Structure 1
């Protein structure tokens, strides 16, 4: 039997700050997607949607649609870097729906936009240092409210993939910044 979920307060203002930061992170990889798949605006539209919410718009179902559309763009992309960039946009749009309970998967909703953007920039061209730089940049840019939200979640586990490593690196950086 699973232990009960540990819930906490999560304000709409914190979700807005998270959404704005997530969009900033994902946007750094967006040109990779747009160069690989010209004419497909789904990831850009997802970022526009979350920016609208972050700027004071209502949390409406359209954000979920935009996030799913960007996710489909990631699945359809023939280029790994472009797919990671679209996934970053998808997760950024979905950040408005982060749930207020302590769960490692919910923590990935916080970390995912930056980690996927880092994966995109280091994949195109192949240069892991670029991904590490984006992770450091994201940690520096994170609002205090985002760091505090992450503190309520369990830390990321060690993983085997490069994405897992990027998630863990960002998680560690954000938890160390006070």
Structure 2
């Protein structure tokens, strides 16, 4: 049986405008670019300032060093449908449980703190590790936007996934969260 290491501790702190060089560098990392559609600085500035968004720096490890960033959108949506717009980590942080920890924090924030009825996201079809993570955390595929994003090699599809409040509540109760 393989040893399972616990993921490093994480925390989310609101992004400051002074963090945007870090945010842009994480987005522009060649290992992250195939999986996201990067934003301009002005888009991130808007997300930091506009109350419909929550833009956070992910800090991880014993020293809580910056490990990535996340964005929620639709925090004031009248239909209580909040989107996980972005979850991007430094490549060195991939595969060690930080993404899963972030996803759990964000789901709790969406459902418990922001009163979401639906928490949703889209993920590129080529991003199989992210899809597996989202499924393992209870997200359900709703559909595909076929060949909807241009890539260096042609086009990729977006898979729309979501979790509803009652599904989250059952999972949280079963996990003792």
- Structure with the bigger percentage of helix: 1
TM-score if structure 2 supplies the norm length? Answer: 0.36
Q: Which structure would you say has the larger RCO, counting Cα contacts within 8 Å and 6 or more residues apart?
A: 1
TM (norm. structure 1) is: 0.36
